[in-house]
Amino acid sequence: MLTAFFENYNYYVVIILMMTGLYVVFSSRNLIKKLSGLSVFQTSVFLLYITIGKVEGGQPPIVSENHASNDSSVMVAGGGEAAIGHAGQMSDVLYSNPLPHVLILTAIVVGVATLAIGLALTVRIRETYGTIEEDELAMLDYTYNLEGTDA
Amino acid sequence: MSLISFFPDWMLTHGAAFLVVVPLIAGAIAAILPKRQIAAALTVAVSFICMLTSLLLVLQIIDGQTINYALGGWDAPHGIAYVVDGLNAPILFLISAIGFLVSVYGMPTIIAEVEPKKRAPFYAAFLICLAGLLGMVVTGDAFNVFVFLEVSSISTYSLVAMGASRDRRALTAAYNYLIMGSIGATFFVIGLGFLYMETGTLNMADMAVILREMEGGSRVSEIAFGFIIVGLGLKLAMFPLHTWLPGAYAHSPSMVTVFLASTATKAALYLLLRFVFTIFDVSFNYVFDVEIYLLAGLGMVGMILGSLQAIFQTDIRRVLAYSSVAQVGYMLLGVGLGTAAGLTAGYLHLMNHAVIKGALFMALGAFWYRYGITRVTDFNGLSKSMPWTMGAFTLGGLSLIGVPFTAGFTSKFRLVEAAFLKGWWWAVAIIVVSSVLAIIYIGRLLLAAYFQSPPEVNGHVVAKNEAPLLMLIPMWFLVLLSIAIGINADIMVDLAEGAASVLLPISAGATP
């Protein structure tokens, strides 16, 4: 029971973060709080991807000189030969999967962009309406929405 | 194929990448341009180039071929591949052609709706949105889809928010769209993560092969499928997940509304088709269940409830926005039927609806441009004050209802036929009921426009004031196109059947 828990420890963290984030997005009526919930939700996905990339006993996927080739002169001399040296030695060392890390770097950038746009919109909403509470925003637009009038 | 010979050789080989790279770079350039006119000219030119390129792609694949383009020379399973086949080439053409028409249409409306210093960035965001939409359709790499999905979404959020100088509700609409859109995209990427866990690849064709070898795979791929369907459902405004759509359509600048209504949900629907039929397969139990009960079921619920909500709206843009929710329902029903006939009808309706809704929203933008009208009650006497625009709106509205000799009729008729073939008579009944509801919400506007007299201001009847030609020409082009499709739909039907044969390669023409 306990081993099962600790073996899948990462996944429990992911699930808890994911659900917390999603709950905050839906439950809070404050625009900033919603955005922080969204951030937590997105962060949980980063953790999920990184968990996928981990290979048990795997080294960080960096080809260092010790691993790649014993003859360092080959490395320095010719790029082509060095590459062959890398490939030949690869099988000895178990590397973690680097691809999910690369993917999640992209997703982190996307998350930052989304958060930036969201915060910028919140600033504009605050300037225009004077509040960032959803209920008050709905009240302020109530007559507009009722009549379908234009500002 | 003599048309192909007009294009240069390098375009034949690099067309797929060219289509995405050009608007992306042009977007960055447009952002720093000092004058609106230059940015507008650049946008029109770039979207025209995109239209030609995608036309070339359509010509290249029309015989059932597939273009595989390895980006940067890295071959398919490891590198990012761009794949153009009968399913996505017509959608690429649709997106870029609408992009071109919209950028022409937008020249006068932008001046009226967007603050001067934001006009060049507006065009930049528009070009990046175009690049994102084209990218998510053209790519054959599942993670690349997510990246382009977010590229188009993030630029769309800012485009919607630019409507703030016309209507402050654009800000809250953009915020809601951002929250819903990000949740959708995150669900999609969670699904991709699970799919990667299961298959160990990100290439769509590779995934398809591996999943078929596993006969659907374990529970992990079921979960992946669920997350992906919810994520894409949010993006394409599947019925209970459509709440972002009316606000985003109603309060954004006219040009953005037209573009969003005709392309954004269509690109997401294309992805749904790709995932349900190509990557996963309807022969997997869980996919089959989702298709029959969820897609077809929610499609039908959306058809009725979307149309009902459209009837009770006071803002005309919201009327058409809810109508879009209903129309997405038709397409989902076509997908849910799962037969070649159903898919052809759904795909045809996807293209027809883009043409029809584009024309209708263009007409609404023109009404606002001249008279500042957004309420249903303001439609009184519009046929006298803006005869040409109202004429376009009328024909587009009839097409939306599905009157014979219009595009809407062709696709709805095929959908009815497909439903009968499958023996789903209740679906036919729901299509008819939804069409009757469409008569009510469109008819209400037409009655006011034709049988009421124009309002009087200070004792004078409002003067006739037609929309500028730059707005009328794209509008009428789409309207005449929808009539032309209604009279002879052979080209469109061929394209749709080509797409259906990509989706159901083995059983094309037969019911499973």
Residues of A in contact with B314 (CB under 8 A): 146-148
Residue of A nearest to B148 (CA): A110
Domain coverage including residue A26: 2-54+98-147
Phi, psi for residue B141 in degrees, rounded to 5: -115, 125
Residue of A nearest to B172 (CA): A125
Task: Name the token pair of B113.
Answer: 């709706």
Residues of A in contact with B316 (CB under 8 A): 148
Are A90 and A119 in the same domain? no
Q: Running DSSP on this structure, what letter comes out for residue B72?
A: G
d(CA B503, CA B347): 11
Global model pTM greater than 0.80: yes
| H/E segment holding residue B461 | strand B460-461
Total domain count, chain A = 2
d(CA B134, CA B128): 10
Over residues B30-45, the mean pLDDT reads 87
Residues of A in contact with B164 (CB under 8 A): 124, 128
Task: Say how many Å lie between the first and final Cα of chain B, rounded.
Answer: 34
Of chain A, the percentage scoring pLDDT greater than 70 comes to 75
Are A102 and A36 in the same domain? yes
CATH of the domain at A9: 1.10.287.3510
Phi, psi for residue B189 in degrees, rounded to 5: -75, -30
> Hey, CA dihedral for A79, A80, A84, A90, is it positive or negative?
positive
Are A33 and A103 in the same domain? yes
d(CA B445, CA B412): 22
- Residue B362 pLDDT exceeds 80: yes
Q: Beta partners for B498?
A: none
d(CA B380, CA B382): 6
Q: What is the structure's pLDDT at B512?
A: 39
Q: Three-state SS for B203?
A: strand
Tens of pLDDT, residue by residue over B13-22, are: 788 888 899 9
Are A48 and A8 in the same domain? yes
Q: Beta partners for A59?
A: A95
Are A86 and A110 in the same domain? no
Interchain contact A143–B (C-beta under 8 A): no
Are A107 and A75 in the same domain? no
| H/E segment holding residue B84 | strand B81-84
Are A150 and B167 a contacting pair at CB < 8 A? yes
ipTM, two decimals? 0.87
What is the least distance, in Å, from the CA of A7 to any CA of chain B?
Answer: 17
Residue of B nearest to A46 (CA): B190
Tens of pLDDT, residue by residue over B459-471, are: 777 777 788 888 8
Interchain contact A31–B (C-beta under 8 A): yes
Cα B245 to chain centroid, rounded:
12
Are B175 and A31 a contacting pair at CB < 8 A? yes
Residue of A nearest to B181 (CA): A114
**Nearest partner of B341 among B417, B275, B237, judged by Cα:** B417
Interchain contact A144–B (C-beta under 8 A): yes
Tens of pLDDT, residue by residue over B378-433, are: 788 888 888 899 999 999 999 999 888 888 898 999 999 999 888 888 889 999 99
| H/E segment holding residue B82 | strand B81-84
Q: Please identify which residue in the block is written with the tokens 């691809």.
A: A99
Are A46 and A62 in the same domain? no
List C-alpha distances in Å: B50 to B33, B45, B55. Answer: 21, 9, 8
Are A13 and A49 in the same domain? yes
Tens of pLDDT, residue by residue over A83-103, are: 444 444 455 678 888 888 888
Angle between helices B407-422 and B469-487 (to 10 degrees): 40
Are A8 and A69 in the same domain? no
Are A21 and A43 in the same domain? yes
**Nearest partner of A141 among B365, B251, B319, judged by Cα:** B251
In sequence order, which residues have a C-beta less than 8 Å from that of residue B61 and are 6 or more positions away? B67, B84, B85, B86, B89, B498
Are A10 and A44 in the same domain? yes
Are A40 and A112 in the same domain? yes
Q: Running DSSP on this structure, what letter comes out for residue B455?
A: P
